[in-house]
Amino acid sequence: MTDTIVAPTAQVTPTVEPLLRVVNVVKHFGAGGGASVKAVDGVSFAIMPGETVGLVGESGCGKSTLGRLITQLIPVSSGEVYLDGVDITKLRGEKLRQQRKQLQMIFQDPYASLDPRMTVGDIIAEPLVNFAMIKGRAKDVRVQELLRTVGLNPYFNNRYPHEFSGGQRQRIGIARALALNPKLIICDEPVSALDVSIQAQIINLLEDLQREFELTYLFIAHDLSVVRHISNRVMVMYLGRICEIAPSEDLYTSQEHPYTRALLSSIPVPDPRIESKRRLVELSGEIPSPLNPPSGCRFHTRCPIAQVPGVCADVEPQLELKGDGHLAACHFSEQVRTKIAIVN
Amino acid sequence: MAVVTTPIFEEYAGGTIAREQVGLWRDGFRRLRRNRLALAALVYLSILLLIAIIAIFWTPYNPATILPNTLTYLPPSGQHILGTDELGRDLLSRMMQGAQISLIVGVGTSAIVLTVGVVVGLIAGYFRGWVDTVISVFINIFYGIPGILVAIVLYLVLGRGLANIMIAISATAWMDMARLVRGQAFSIREREYIEAAKASGAKSGKILFGHILPNALGPIIVQATFVIPIAILTEAFLSYLGLGIPSPLASWGSIASEGYAALPLEPYMMLWPAVALSLTLLAFNFFGDGLRDAFDPRQRR
Amino acid sequence: MTDAILEVRNLSTHFFTDDGEVKAVRDVSFSIAPGETVGIVGESGCGKSVTAMSVMGLVGRPGKVVGGEIMFRGRDLLKLSKEEFRNIRGRDIAMIFQDPLSSMNPVLRVGYQIDEAMYAHDKIPRDQVERRAIDLLAQVRVSDAARRIRQFPHQFSGGMRQRAMIAMGLSNKPDLLIADEPTTALDVTVQAQILELLRDLNEQTGAAIILITHNLGVVAGLCKRVLVMYAGEIVEEGTVEQIFESPQHPYTWSLLRSVPRIDARRGHRLLSIEGLPPDLIDLPQGCKFNPRCPFRVERCFNESPPIEQVAPAQYAACWVTMERAYAEMGAGDIIDTSPGAASGVHPAGRTLPAAEVPAALAEPVGD
């Protein structure tokens, strides 16, 4: 296993403690016959207060599992998750429940994440009721205030979720996440189920709320353009591990991991002139099964610059500092930009 | 009436909700209303219920007393609309009391089944693990034994009485309900809104009874409706065997049994309970089907 | 355009539901030249898929094509018998769908399903079918095609399945391939590969492609011409350069500014299109985009704008057009994107006394 790398804290003012520190978190799901799916396999990072950190990766890379491990919706196999200095993986029962006040989640599917039998007011008030924080008239006032905060008509509090559009439902989910004044919100693909024009509304809302309530976000999505837009830093995940962490400004110009570069080359840009020059980094083969990830660097089976046989197939690269706040797990990161062309 | 000439998007995002939509329950009732067969069944059942209620306060004659100066096995007449039985008791009065007994047994059994089945099913489906294994194994063992046999043995052990007959029928009938609820809990607990409830600090009890149960209610109600005719039939069968309701209480089953003995003398006595029983069972089944079409989400368009 | 292989004229398709008549596609006209790549862009419910289904003759109850003509090589498809239509569908016009898993039969081998598509139409000589299936799979870059052809759909990954679907679509050498969100269910790296494949196939086989998508980037990479749909109508049409560089309809313009771009400088705010698309049962008066448009004027509330030429080969259905919005309304520095935000708008568009809002809002939604 890796040693605990929490380097990102180094580049910010050292006196500020990270709000969230994830240390070597592992989640293995049993897959029958003694085999296990290594969904998240040794992930470490930190999030500073007020920051937005993006987490991207393709389906099956473990990004959603990681989000649920942090919120303790599923227990970790090993590793620690420190929220404000407290290791929440060691908490059980009531203590864990109390911790949820700090840590809320926005879900991907605005149709599935709201209980269809509850009114919008009850949905938003649920966290408040669960912690017996507020009752009666004060509760209604708070619910209406939250509805107004997320841009919805406060008089809709006694309506049912199915009466709302996808974007409006996602606003309801956001209001619910805000109800407890959490410090950290995990956004799990909050806009990917929405239409293009509605995505912008929700992204702007999340940005406004962050400013207003000094929120910290972990923003999980498969769309690198969206993630880069909203995040200060972006983490790229491949097959259960983080392969690169980069400040968003750097990401488009300098990539230190071949997978990030390939990912970037795949993203279509709404500009025909750029599109005609864009060159796709073709990855050979398919994503290997997380049941049996490749030896050494997990990406070596598809990497255009891997040395196989050689160090890439034998030694698992660790996240190392490659630039200012820029980490990558690659043996040949200096060759990424020279050897892999993404423009014709 | 303020007339809004321009759409109001300024103040709130997507200020209006799309079109006025009906609630999930109301949508179900709307579909139920369109089902003629279910509606006819509902009308019949309402009349039956009315008769059973009237029977509490009034019957043409006392159904239990042997009427003086009355012949046995009278055919229908102005005085005794459905005739009289082998002891000269008024059959209409006895049939009315039978309706009462049938409904009490049907609804009572259904209530017991509902309570036990829902609680056991929810626990098995939500907590899973060894609790679920124990419950499932228990249910599967009993599935191999005919329910009627269990009911007869248990009823004989418990002794005669209206309450005991319901308990005896429930002894096996709750298992179907528990299986259904378990399956529902299994699938609902994987939905994202359950995860969302957990993330917002809901305790297990709240998740079980506040989220899972309300969302499983449609199929549960449908299943509970189907328990009623089964219970009525079982009671009638027990009474027919002479094991059921102690006399002089009248049950459709016992009237039919007595009527069968007197078939060559008086065919009507067998006819009335047979017709009433058939119609009631049909009505409950049609109504249950209607409810299923209206409320079971799997049937949704 | 007389040499078009497909010409759709005034197509209208409605759905007759319990809640009312959903006017999903209204008065849509466009044409496709042989070998052309055309994108139809829009959000869900804009009618782009229903348009494609209408062309394929796949609109089923409660939907119905209520008007218009669909001319394919000079013949109106709507006037054909079911049998004649079936002969064209899958043979001369092929379609690939968003979800390749549900559009393939799980219990039949992939090769068999490709063969079947060819046997059904007798366009390919029977003795060549099996050979061609392998060639097709190789052509869509499925490695080890001869072995893969004997596998079942579940043994294929998502990207591979979509390749097999494309192979099936191409098997009868169609003149027109309609791809309905072919990459939406796929990861970006796979999406890029499929798009490159479609581009190559267009060049190699000369089949025209209609690409239906909500993703503007995908269109920019593959298509030469673009149709933008909103609320069941085509609101703008032009070459890919025109649409992306000088869009004239405010919807196109806003849409382009509402998506985050990977190459953009960071820190800028996305332009959001406020509000929701209209209810297709109860459409607004005038321009269907007017409730959300920052540049609307008085006329937009009452009169529906016809689609008119705004530049060579570019058409837009707008009373204002972006050229005027830039010149007169300061569209260049607009930040507030709420409806009617730009200067020179309909006066009733912006100001609504705050006190009236709750009453007005409570009203249209009341039971």
User: Cβ C338–B17 below 8 Å, yes or no?
Assistant: no
| Tens of pLDDT, residues B259-271 | 888 888 778 888 8
Within a domain: C239: no
End of a domain among C171, C190, C223?
Answer: C223
B248 touches B93 (CB < 8 A):
no
pLDDT attached to residue C227: 97
- As a whole number, mean pLDDT of residues A283-303 equals 89
Phi first, then psi: what are they for A300, rounded to 5°? -65, -25
Q: What is the pLDDT of residues B161-192, one digit of tens each?
A: 889 999 999 998 899 999 999 999 999 988 89
**Which of C161, C188, C223 is the C-terminal boundary of a domain?**
C223
B104 phi and psi, to 5 degrees?
Answer: -60, -45
Task: Tell me the chain B residues in contact with residue A163 when contact means C-beta distances shorter than 8 Å.
Answer: 17-18, 20-21
Residues C206 and C253 placed together within one structural domain of the fold: no
Does A64 touch chain C if contact means CB atoms closer than 8 Å? no
Same domain, C262 and C307: yes
Does the residue C241 lie in any domain? no
Q: What's the CA gap between A208 and C255, in Å, rounded?
A: 21
AA identity, residue C206: G
Which band of pLDDT confidence, cut at 50, 70 and 90, is reported for residue B16? low
Nearest to C270 among A200, A224, A280 (CB): A200
Of residues A134 and B112, more confidently modeled: B112
Residue C359 confidence (pLDDT) above 60: no
Identify the band that residue C266 occupies on the pLDDT scale cut at 50, 70 and 90: confident
Chain B hits for C363, Cβ within 8 Å: 1-2, 4
Q: Under an 8 A CB cutoff, do B14 and A168 touch?
A: yes
One domain, residues C214 and C313: no
Minimum-distance CB partner of C338 among B2, B9, B16: B9
Of residues C143 and B23, more confidence is placed in: C143
State the pLDDT confidence band at C21, using cuts at 50, 70 and 90.
Answer: very high
- The reply to whether C51 falls in a domain is yes
- pTM here is 0.85
Task: State pLDDT tens for residues C206-245.
Answer: 999 999 999 999 999 999 999 999 999 999 999 999 999 9
Put simply, the chain A residues between 264 and 283 with a CB less than 8 A from any chain C CB are 264-275, 278, 280, 282-283
Q: Domain check: are C64 and C210 in the same one?
A: yes
**Quick check: A4 pLDDT over 60?**
no
* pLDDT of amino acid B4: 31
Confidence of residue C345 (pLDDT cuts 50, 70, 90): low
Overall size of chain A counted in residues: 344
Instruction: Look up residue C89 and give its DSSP letter.
Output: B
Mean pLDDT of chain B: 83
Same domain assignment for residues C14 and C99: yes
With an 8 Å Cβ cutoff, are B13 and A113 in contact? no
List CB contacts (< 8 A) between B200 and chain A: 100, 104, 126-127, 130, 176-177, 179-180
Contacts of C195 in chain A (CB under 8 A): 268
Whether chain B has a CB inside 8 Å of the CB on C275: the answer is yes
C179 and C281 part of one domain: no
pLDDT attached to residue B238: 87
Full domain range(s) for residue C258: 247-361
Chain A residues within an 8 Å CB radius of C270: 200, 203-204, 229
CATH number of C180's domain:
3.40.50.300
Which chains pack against B, by 3+ Cβ pairs within 8 A? A, C
Domain annotation covers residue C238: no
Q: Indicate if C38 and C179 belong to the same structural domain.
A: yes
Out of C284, C346, C352, the one facing B8 most closely (by C-beta) is C352
In the numeric block, which tokens belong to residue C332? 């260049």
pLDDT of residue A294: 92
- CB spacing of C240 vs A271 below 8 angstroms: no
Question: In this predicted structure, what is the pLDDT of residue A285?
Answer: 80
pLDDT digits (tens, 9 = 90+) for C74-130: 899 999 998 888 888 888 999 998 877 778 888 899 999 989 888 888 788 888 888
Q: Which residue has the higher pLDDT, C215 or A14?
A: C215
Cβ-proximal residues to B99 (8 Å cutoff; 6+ apart), any chain: B48, B51, B52, B55, B252, B276
Segment C327-344 mean pLDDT? 76
- C-alpha B106/C-alpha B97 separation (Å) is 14
Interface ipTM: 0.87
Mean pLDDT of C319-335: 85
> What is the average pLDDT score of chain C?
87
C185 & C105 share domain? yes
B51 pLDDT above the threshold of 60:
yes
Of the pLDDT bands very low, low, confident and very high (cuts 50, 70, 90), residue C351 is very low
- Quick one: C104 and C252 in the same domain? no
Confidence of residue C298 (pLDDT cuts 50, 70, 90): confident
Q: Do C217 and A270 touch (CB under 8 A)?
A: yes
Give percent of chain C above pLDDT 70: 93
Interface test with A, best of B193, B207, B208 (most A CBs within 10 A): B193
pLDDT number for residue B254: 86
pLDDT tens for each residue of C2-18: 589 999 999 999 999 88
Summarize pLDDT for A312-322 with one digit per residue, the tens. 999 999 999 99
What is the predicted pLDDT for the residue at C357?
Answer: 37
* Residue C232, in any domain of the structure: no
| pLDDT (average), residues A301-310 | 89
CA distance A39 to C257: 36
DSSP states of A188-250: ESSSTTS-HHHHHHHHHHHHHHHHHHT-EEEEEES-HHHHHHH-SEEEEEETTEEEEEEEHHH
CA distance B166 to chain C (A): 44
Q: Pick from C186, C207, C223: which residue ends a domain?
A: C223
Chain B residues in contact with C357 by the CB 8 A cut-off are: 8, 11
Write out the two tokens for C181.
């969100």
Does C11 reside within a domain?
A: yes
Count structural domains, chain C: 2
Q: Are B231 and B244 in contact (CB under 8 A)?
A: no
Which residue of chain B comes nearest to A204, CA vs CA?
B13
> Do residues C334 and C342 lie in contact, with contact meaning Cβ atoms separated by under 8 Å?
yes
Q: Is the pLDDT of residue B3 over 70?
A: no
Q: Is residue C316 part of a domain?
A: yes
Same domain, C28 and C112: yes
Whether residue C140 is contained in a domain is answered as yes
CA-to-CA dists, residue B174 to A261, B147, B208, angstroms:
60, 11, 19
Give B138-162 pLDDT, tens digit per residue: 998 888 888 888 888 998 898 888 8
Residue C325 and residue C184 in one domain: no
Q: pLDDT band at residue A2, thresholds of 50, 70 and 90? A: very low
Verify that C219 and C254 share a domain, yes or no: no
| Chain B partners within 8 Å of A162 (Cβ) | 21, 24
A43 vs B258 pLDDT, higher one: A43
Residue C361 pLDDT greater than 80, yes or no: no
